[in-house]
Amino acid sequence: MKNSSYQAVMSRRNEIMKASVGIDYDLYKLGSIGFDYERMMTETGYNLDNVRIIQNESGVGGTPLKELRNITKLVRKTSKPGYGARIFIKDEALNDSGSFKARRASISCYQAKKQGYKGVIAATSGNYGAAVASQAAKYNLKCLVIQECYDSKGIGQPEIIEKARACEAYGAEVIQLSVGPELFYTFLRLLEETGYFNASLYTPYSIIGIETLGAEIVEDCLNLTGKLPKAVICTNAGGGNLTGTARGIQKISPEKIEIIGASVDLSGLHMASDHDFNRKSFTTGHTGFGMPYTTNPDRSDVPRSAARPLRYIDRYLTVTQGEVFFTTEMLVALEGIERGPAGNTSLAAAFSLAQEFPQDEIIVVQETEYTGAGKHHQTQLSFARKMGIDLRFGNPEDEVPGQSIILPDSITKIKAKDLDLDRIRTSLIRNATKNSEHLTTPDLNYLATEVNSDKKYVQEKLKILGKQWEEVNE
């Protein structure tokens, strides 16, 4: 038996992760900090065509693209003459497990079965756990879901409890933990003890599974309207949703389509804080995940994350909790579609964004998720009130995360805010180079690709950060 202490397990984490995915990440190293991302993605052996076949056989993909005609009409009432783009949603709630994450899980579980693993493990409190459990059932794989569920008082958000119920309904064993560092430790220890496949959100298999979503958006939009969308809005947390969608769009679209990220503004709340854990009303799609994973994507449960949102993002918008809850109710009342809050994060941003574009342009909200029981917006609002959060109508700009949720008292007050991408890119470069003093040409090229810019931009940022480099190929 190996030493199972926290320190011992954490010291073996790269060894454990490598064995649980079957990828030798060392093969893709470039320079002192870089890695050959595209080679890693290509060498999985999957492409759009064979991923479509796999997903079609496992109840995934082919979801409808729906125009929100009534919400578009409402947008135009608040827009200047001739403006107010058409808004569509890709209704991913119609996948077997109720969210786009079925696409991520489909290839992970297929790969696990192909490589002879007996089971899969996922560390998630969200829809991904249900997706992995659902796909594991199709492939006759055992499934463990490790969930950060409670605070130290044993209180869990209704949405998180609902997601645990869904995982168990699909046959998974759910291990529930309180908020804190034990999640990653428990995940690693169980990977080692069981020998199961690491169905991480951040493997190439997970991201490749989402590429079909981006491709379908392009195809569906052309079939329904005869034109490409002006922009696609992706709710952003760990970055995989945006990364996979953007890659799929790039592979099939004949023209540039703007890729926009959207997150709920939870600034001021710490995601690992026992105090803050139940003072937020969103478990994903918020800045508490979106910002750290965008600026430091390799803080994940694999040595190198395949989710690299800054490579693809053109704008990054934030909305408030109140705006998303209001938009969720709007979708029900005006369109007769009841969906969960994650996709409605992007819909709230789309309502604001559509006012910037002419009426003949198209914006696609890239995903929806199922709702019900604890995931329902009214349940979350009731829980927030119980936790002492001030709920009222007013100006969402006055909302303070962890203290208040302010629903707009007028649709004119739904206003998404732009985050400074230059600042975010600078932060990524700082994080990527903090432990490296010797940077060479491969490192500079890698960083330029990471931030979707050029080598000159990277050199300017390195000067500001006081970093040295030399033009030497290694």
* pLDDT digits 0-9 by tens, 289-323: 999 999 999 988 898 999 999 999 999 999 999 99
Mean pLDDT, rounded, for 439-466:
94
Mean pLDDT, rounded, for 28-50:
94
- CB-based contact 109:135 (threshold 8 Å): yes
Highest average pLDDT, of 148-152, 230-234, 273-277, 462-466, comes from 230-234
- Over 80: is that where the pLDDT of 181 sits? no
Mean pLDDT, rounded, for 446-450:
97
- Over 90: is that where the pLDDT of 1 sits? no
Mean pLDDT, rounded, for 131-156:
94
pLDDT in the model for residue 474:
59
pLDDT in the model for residue 347:
98
Read off the pLDDT band of 195 (50, 70, 90): very high
Q: Which two tokens stand for residue 22?
A: 């079957």
Q: How many CB atoms lie within 10 A of CB 190?
A: 18
Angstrom distance (rounded) from CA 354 to CA 231:
10
Angstrom distance (rounded) from CA 99 to CA 1:
39
Q: Which residues pair with 363 in a beta bridge?
A: 87, 231
CATH classification code of 49-96+209-418 = 3.40.50.1100
pLDDT in the model for residue 462:
94
Mean pLDDT, rounded, for 366-382:
91
Share of residues in the chain with pLDDT > 70 (%): 99
Read off the pLDDT band of 343 (50, 70, 90): confident
- Over 80: is that where the pLDDT of 61 sits? yes
Across the chain, mean pLDDT equals 94
Q: Name which of 110-114, 127-131, 155-159, 396-400 the model is least confident about.
A: 155-159
Q: Name which of 68-82, 110-124, 157-171, 200-214 the model is least confident about.
A: 157-171
Share of residues in the chain with pLDDT > 90 (%): 82
pLDDT in the model for residue 375:
85
Read off the pLDDT band of 223 (50, 70, 90): very high
- Report which of residues 467 and 230 the model is more confident about: 230
- Report which of residues 28 and 471 the model is more confident about: 28
- Over 70: is that where the pLDDT of 413 sits? yes
Q: Which two tokens stand for residue 158?
A: 């209704």
Residues of the chain with CATH 3.40.50.1100: 49-96+209-418
